[in-house]
A = this chain, B = another copy of it.
Amino acid sequence: MSLIALKKVDLFKAVPTRTLDSWLKGFNPLQREYRKGNFILLQGKEYNDLCCILSGEASAEFQDYGGKVLKVETLKASEAIATAVLFSPERLLPVTVVAQTDVTTLWVPRKEILRLCGMSAEFLETLLSDMGARLSFLAQKIRFLQFNTIRKKIAEYLLGQMQIQKTRSLVLPHSREMMAELFGVSRPSLSRVFSELCQQGVLKAEGKHCTVLEPARLRALAEEE
């Protein structure tokens, strides 16, 4: 039962079934159900067991001391929550996690996660890569927060991708939703500015494909004060 549940979580997918099987002889991961609207994790509490979402959808929210609630992220089935917090020195959750639908979760103690790292190189690499991807996303986000207009953020982003992919016909690595999160802007605003740039003949964009028609004008946008 636990084995089938584990196989639903991305973090464990690359681990050979035999390894998971022998790992699970040492302990029994808890499974818990939450009704829509229930709290799954609380901001400021210590985080000692990795929480994985098996089914349903949750949201991570941040509440400031002025009382404002800020939705930070949507958490979907197959995701492990806050892997990095589990290993940070203080282990304090920066957010509250709330069930947006009925949710089933699986809980794996921190020390069992460390034990699996020793048992499976595949797991270790997946875990490090998950943390690495998250960290590089946050680092980029901080960078984009300094560019004040959405046009400037898009220009910087596309010029960066042109340099990495060495072409003007780009395959964008982020969905529009992720891009909006990366830039710290709303998705409709992002789409509007993308459309404007297309109408002005600077870009041609279709889904994940984007061709920069006029690199010089894009560069000028990045240099705008």
Contact = CB atoms under 8 A, between A and B. Distances in A.
Interface of A: 44, 62, 64-67, 70, 84-90, 92, 94, 114, 117-118, 121, 124-125, 127-129, 131-136, 138-143, 145-147, 155-156, 159-160, 163-164, 173, 184, 219, 222-224
Q: How many copies does the complex hold?
A: 2
A134 to B, nearest CB: 6
A183 B143 CA distance: 14
A114 B118 contact: no
B134 A66 contact: no
B88 A133 contact: yes
Contact of A131 (B44, B118, B135): B135
Given A143-B62, A219-B65, A44 B163 contact: yes
Contacts of A85: 132, 135-136
A156 B70 CA distance: 14
12 contacts: A44-B160, A44-B164, A65-B222, A84-B131, A86-B132, A87-B125, A87-B131, A94-B140, A114-B124, A114-B128, A131-B132, A142-B184
